[in-house]
Amino acid sequence: MQEKFSIDDAVSNLWDKLDGWLDAIILKLPNFAVAVLVMLLFWFLAKLLSKFSKKVLFKKINQESIRQMLGKLVFAVIVLVGFFIALGVMELDKALTSILAGAGVVGLAIGLALQGTLGNTVSGLVLSFLPKVRIGDFIETQDKKGYVSEINLRNIVMRQTDNEYVIIPNSTFVDNPFTNYSWSNRSRIDVACGVGYESDLQQVEDLVVKIISENFEQKDDEGVEFFFTEFGDSSINFVTRFWIESTKPKPKLAAQHKAIKLIKKHFDEADINIPFPIRTLDFGKNQLKIHSKE
């Protein structure tokens, strides 16, 4: 009989607690509604001020990556302020104090578990303020080439020349060397060729330098360079080097294309031979032999 009364008392106490919680929830509903409205208001305010700061306040900052990062920081700060105000409306200030007290231990555990992610975040901050990498630059790293389209806290996004996107973790990008083809407005082009041994080498040099100089403008501290490089099997090989305006790969290919066509055209007009490999077919009784001469 005593056991029955104990169960009844326990059930009664449980219902009393549930009833108290329900009353508290009902009483807090207006506060909850106001807190939700506060969060929504600060969310839209953060979006608006983030865009405004990137377009107006940070307009004088040349690097797009820095403007984006500062805009995200403004957004996060405003949302955080709204969160604290919403907690105050819900009268959860004491609960917030307890949460912050335990956040240090939890943060340490999360930091140890997410070392790679935190490393990418720090590297993302470094990249955002690194003047050698900008949004729109054409860079090459670890056999990947493309235009930088985004730098965020986790990775760098590159659009390759085939319009495919490659995503590289920030820590990987920072820890490895990279080439930025957009940092300089002038690039030097190399074009290699060969002429027959019977050719007048001085005539070849003068003609090539004249062709390139007339078709590719060189600055005062630049110029067309010409060097014979080796005695080949069937030709004397040379390389010519000159400068062009270029911050992207396409102008380089176009310049090489134009230079090769010009050299071939003028060599034909001057009767200068460009040797090519010769193959002799030897038809034996039982087999076919191929002799190559380059």
Listed by start position, the domains of the chain span: 2-113, 136-180, 186-269
The third-level CATH classification (topology) of the domain covering 186-269 is Alpha-Beta Plaits (3.30.70)
Query: Could you read off the pLDDT of 76-127 as tens digits, one per residue?
Result: 888 888 877 777 776 665 555 655 555 555 555 545 444 444 555 555 555 5
Q: Three-state secondary structure along the chain?
A: CHHHHHHHHHHHHHHHHHHHHHHHHHHHHHHHHHHHHHHHHHHHHHHHHHHHHHHHHCCCCCCHHHHHHHHHHHHHHHHHHHHHHHHHHCCCHHHHHHHHHHHHHHHHHHHHHCHHHHHHHHHHHHHHCCCCCCCCCEEEECCEEEEEEEECCCEEEEECCCCCEEEEEHHHHHCCCCEECCCCCEEEEEEEEEECCCCCHHHHHHHHHHHHHHHCCCCCCCCCEEEEEEECCCCEEEEEEEEEECCCHHHHHHHHHHHHHHHHHHHHHCCCCCCCCEEEEEECCCCEEEEEEC
Check pLDDT > 80 for residue 285.
Answer: no
- Does 136-180 carry CATH code 2.30.30.60? yes
Check pLDDT > 70 for residue 162.
Answer: yes
Q: Please, what is the average pLDDT of the chain?
A: 76
The third-level CATH classification (topology) of the domain covering 2-113 is Helix Hairpins (1.10.287)
Check pLDDT > 60 for residue 5.
Answer: no
State the average pLDDT over residues 26-49: 77
**Better pLDDT: 161 or 2:** 161
**Confidence band (pLDDT; 50, 70, 90) for 239?**
very high
Q: How much is the pTM?
A: 0.55
